[in-house]
Amino acid sequence: MTNATHPFDALMDITVRPEVVFVRGAGSYLWDDNRNRYLDFVQGWAVNPLGHAPAVVAEALSAQAKRLLTPSPAFYNAPSLKLAKMLVDRSCFDQVFFANSGAEANEGAIKLARKFGAKYKNGAHEIITFEGGFHGRTLATMSASGKKAFEPLFEPKVPGFRKAKLNDIESVRKLVSPSTIAVMLEPIQGEAGVWPATDAFMQELRALTQQRGLLLIVDEIQTGIGRTGKLFAYEHAEIAPDIMTLGKGIGGGVPLAALLATEHASCFDHGDQGGTFNGNPLMCAAGIAVLEEVGNPDFLKSVADTGRFLESELQRLSARHGLGGIRGRGLLLALDLKMPIGAAVVAEAFTSGVLINSPQADTLRFMPALNVTREEISAMIDCLDAVLAKVGAARRVA
C-alpha cells in the first residue's frame, strides 16, 4: 500500500460521496469548507428531528459531558433511567434496552424473539420479514433485510428469515410454521423508497400474530420519534406491537438507539444482552432533550401539518413536470419520478445548494428536519422546479 496522498484516501471507500467537506450545520442548513450553504432535506439520513446542531441537544451534551460520561454498563445512571421511563410512558412498551445504532437495536430484537422462542415455544426461531425491507448492515440484519442488492453478499447469511410481501397478509400466513416466532417490519419501508404498510395490513398482522402466538416487531428506526406526525408510526394503525426498535432521530444527531418490549416479550436472562457503551449517560442526555421537544403534542401536530404542506407542494410540482404520485406520511415522503433520473436530479440539486436523496433510481425521498419551515420547503420546491426543467430538457435532447 502507498501512503494516502489525498485527505479522502485515508477513509475506506465505501460509497460515492461529493468531494466537499461539511464543517457546520444550523437547523435546515449545512455549510461546506468553501462557505457554500446547502438547504438540507436529507438531515443525516432522517436523523435530525430538530435540524442540525440544535441548541437543546448541544446544551444537554455539554452539561452531561462535564458531569459523567461512562460509569459502566454494569451500573445504573440517571439519564438512561429517565429516558427509559419517558419512552415507556409514551408508548405501549414496558422495558427498554439502549443501543448505539439501529442495526444493533435490531440485532437485539432478533435475539429477544429467538430467546422468547427458546423459552416459551419449543425453540421456534424463524422470523418473517419483508421483500424490500431494510434492517441494517450487521450480518443478521442484512439477512433480515429484503434488499435485492444484499442477496449475493457475505455468504453464508444468518439463517432463519423468510420474506413475505408487504400489504399481502396471505403471503405472511403461508410462511407461518411451528418454527416461526415473529413477524418484523418497518411501518413504512424507508430505504426501499418509502412504501407504507397500510393501517389495515398492520391490523391484520397484529390479529394473525396474536392468533398464532407470534411476536410483532416494528422497526421504527426511520419512522419513529415523530417522523410520521405521531411519536411512533404504529399509533396510526391503533395497534400495540410486542417489540419496537428506535434509532436515527432518537439521539437528535448522535449515536443512540433503543430496543423496547412489552413485559410479556421482555425475556432476556442475565448474560444474554449487553454492550460497553449501551445506555451511556452522554447519549441518553441527548435523547431526553430530543424527546422533551418532539414528544410535545403541539410539536407532533406541526409535523403532521408541515407534512401535508410538503405533500401538496410536491403534488403541484409533480403535475407541472408530468411526474408520478407522492407516497409516505408526515415528513417522510417520496415523489415518483416515473423515470430513472433520481441520481441526475440529486446531483443537479446539490450543485444548486439543495440536498435531497434518491433511494431508488425513479424515486426522490424527503426527510427534512421535523421543524422545517414552510419558507424552507418553498425554497426547496423552487430549486427542484428548475432542476427538473433542466434534467427533463437534457433527456428530451438526448
Region of 193-201, 219-227, 265-273, 286-294 interacting with ligand PLP (CB under 6 A):
219-227
Q: Which of 180, 222, 306, 357 binds ligand PLP (CB under 6 A)?
A: 222
How far apart are CB 374 and ligand PLP at their closest, in Å? 26
Site size for ligand PLP (CB under 6 A): 15
Longest dimension (CA), the chain: 66
For residues 158 and 125, the answer to whether their CB atoms sit within 8 Å is no
Cα pseudo-dihedral 219, 121, 175, 154, rounded to 10: 60
For residues 239 and 218, the answer to whether their CB atoms sit within 8 Å is no
Taking the C-alpha atoms of residue 223 and residue 234, their distance in angstroms, rounded to an integer, is: 9
Q: Which of 186, 311, 313, 348 binds ligand PLP (CB under 6 A)?
A: 186
Strand intervals (E) in the chain: 22-26, 29-32, 37-40, 95-99, 126-130, 161-164, 180-185, 188-189, 195-196, 215-219, 243-246, 257-261, 326-329, 332-336, 354-355, 357-360, 363-366
Footprint of ligand PLP on residues 78-107 (CB under 6 A)?
101-103, 106
Footprint of ligand PLP on residues 105-124 (CB under 6 A)?
106
Q: By CB neighbour count within 10 A (0-12 exposed, 13-18 middle, 19+ buried), where does 32 fall? A: middle
Cβ proximity to ligand PLP: between 229 and 391 the closer is 229
How far apart are CB 341 and ligand PLP at their closest, in Å? 24
Q: Does 266 bind ligand PLP (CB under 6 A)?
A: no
Cβ proximity to ligand PLP: between 50 and 109 the closer is 109
Region of 33-41, 128-136, 159-167, 230-238 interacting with ligand PLP (CB under 6 A):
128-136
Taking the C-alpha atoms of residue 224 and residue 192, their distance in angstroms, rounded to an integer, is: 17
Region of 26-34, 60-68, 186-194, 363-371 interacting with ligand PLP (CB under 6 A):
186-194
For residues 127 and 184, the answer to whether their CB atoms sit within 8 Å is yes
Q: By CB neighbour count within 10 A (0-12 exposed, 13-18 middle, 19+ buried), where does 397 fall? A: exposed
How far apart are CB 126 and ligand PLP at their closest, in Å? 20
Residue pointed to by grid coordinates 450553504:
37
Footprint of ligand PLP on residues 229-248 (CB under 6 A)?
247-248
Region of 14-22, 131-139, 202-210, 296-304 interacting with ligand PLP (CB under 6 A):
131-139
Q: Which of 40, 107, 204, 219 binds ligand PLP (CB under 6 A)?
A: 219
The half-sphere exposure of 92 on its side-chain side, counting CA atoms within 13 A, is 16
For residues 344 and 364, the answer to whether their CB atoms sit within 8 Å is no
Residue with the CB atom nearest ligand PLP in the bound state: 102
Q: Does 41 bind ligand PLP (CB under 6 A)?
A: no
Residue type, 103: A
How far apart are CB 269 and ligand PLP at their closest, in Å? 25
Q: Which of 114, 125, 135, 227 binds ligand PLP (CB under 6 A)?
A: 135
Q: Does 134 bind ligand PLP (CB under 6 A)?
A: yes
Taking the C-alpha atoms of residue 180 and residue 85, their distance in angstroms, rounded to an integer, is: 31
Taking the C-alpha atoms of residue 86 and residue 218, their distance in angstroms, rounded to an integer, is: 19
Region of 115-123, 164-172, 215-223, 368-376 interacting with ligand PLP (CB under 6 A):
215-223
How far apart are CB 102 and ligand PLP at their closest, in Å? 2
Opening angle at CA 36, ends 294 and 227, nearest 5: 20
How far apart are CB 135 and ligand PLP at their closest, in Å? 5
Residues near ligand PLP (CB under 6 A) are 101-103, 106, 134-136, 186, 190-191, 219, 221-222, 247-248
